[in-house]
Amino acid sequence: MQLFLDTAEIDEIAGRARAGLVDGVTTNPSLIAKSGADVFDRVAAICAAVSGPVSAEVVATDVEGMLREGRRLREIADNVVIKLPLTGPGLEACRSFADEGVATNVTLCFSLNQAMLAAKAGATFVSPFVGRVEDAGGDGIGLLRDIRAHYDRHGFETRILAASLRNPGHVEAAALVGCDAATLPPKTFDEMIRHPLTDTGLEAFLADWEKTGRGGLA
Ligand code: E4P
């Protein structure tokens, strides 16, 4: 499963990307607004830091506006993926971009019906929002499982990008269900690294080594 960072902050991307951990980045209007940066400048900087897909979202709500904004975003770099909301106009814009060979990420997906329509509209990625489904009392991981089963049964190539993941358990569940990618905030990325037994194990190894008085290896 590919791992994407869900952030618009460059300093949250660079180190993790250098370690080869980041397959792509997703942004949304809330994240860009929070950064205070110009959207085009910020997306360009992210694309320079990461070679994989970088989702940049339109803010227009009509088809023409989405196509105009999407084309402008695509001029930034070849790895820009146009993020479109799962609305009627969003699906229509998705189909136009798909026919032009432009990669899309259809976002704010909360049901199997919506995922079915995103696939029919030719979406490259669909983003089901696991955490927000759970916030509303639903089964977010169950939704991922249902979409996986449906896409496999009918041969849809749209990639499932699990989104709104709030903890490492969500990431593991998305992987086990067979999602193609998952996008997670930097905090969750770091939580994936940590395990209490790694900490205590390392502490014991280093304490034993310290007793030898031999210092570092090089
Ligand atoms: C994904 O594309 C979204 O930007 C993100 O995952 C939303 O997460 P949230 O529900 O925690 O805001």
Distance 171 CA to ligand 1 centre (A): 13
Does 14 reside within a domain?
yes
The yes-or-no answer on residue 34 being catalytic is no
Does 33 reside within a domain?
yes
The number of helix segments (H) and strand segments (E) in the chain equals 11, 8
Query: What is the per-residue pLDDT for 4?
Result: 98
Does 217 reside within a domain?
no
* pLDDT tens-place values along the chain, 218 residues long: 999 999 999 999 988 998 999 999 999 999 999 999 999 999 999 999 999 999 999 999 999 999 999 999 999 999 999 999 999 999 999 999 999 999 999 999 999 999 999 999 999 999 999 999 999 999 999 999 999 999 999 999 999 999 999 999 999 999 999 999 999 999 999 999 999 999 999 999 999 999 999 999 99
> Considering only CA atoms, which residue is closest to atom 4 of ligand 1?
28
Query: What is the per-residue pLDDT for 36?
Result: 96
Instruction: Report H helices in 57-120.
Output: 63-74, 88-100, 112-120
Does 218 reside within a domain?
no
Tell me the Cα Rg of the chain: 20
Instruction: Determine the atom of ligand 1 nearest the C-alpha atom of 184.
Output: 6
Question: 123: domain CATH number?
Answer: 3.20.20.70
The pTM for the full model equals 0.96
Number of independent structural domains in the chain: 1
Query: What is the per-residue pLDDT for 197?
Result: 98
Query: What is the per-residue pLDDT for 187?
Result: 95
> Considering only CA atoms, which residue is closest to atom 5 of ligand 1?
164
Q: What is the ipTM of this complex?
A: 0.97
> Considering only CA atoms, which residue is closest to atom 12 of ligand 1?
164
Query: What is the per-residue pLDDT for 33?
Result: 97
Does 51 reside within a domain?
yes
Instruction: Report H helices in the chain.
Output: 10-18, 29-35, 39-49, 63-74, 88-100, 112-120, 130-135, 140-154, 168-177, 186-193, 196-212
Instruction: Supply angle C-alpha 198, 203, 207, rounded to 5.
Output: 150
Instruction: Determine the atom of ligand 1 nearest the C-alpha atom of 163.
Output: 6
Query: What is the per-residue pLDDT for 74?
Result: 97
Does 127 reside within a domain?
yes
Distance 158 CA to ligand 1 centre (A): 19
Does 164 reside within a domain?
yes
Query: What is the per-residue pLDDT for 84?
Result: 98
- Ligand 1 binding pocket includes 131 (Cβ within 6 Å): yes
Q: Which of 28, 106, 133, 135 for a ligand 1 pocket mutation test, highest count of atoms within 8 Å of Cβ?
A: 28
**Full residue range of the structural domain in which residue 112 is found:** 2-212
Query: What is the per-residue pLDDT for 174?
Result: 98
Does 62 reside within a domain?
yes
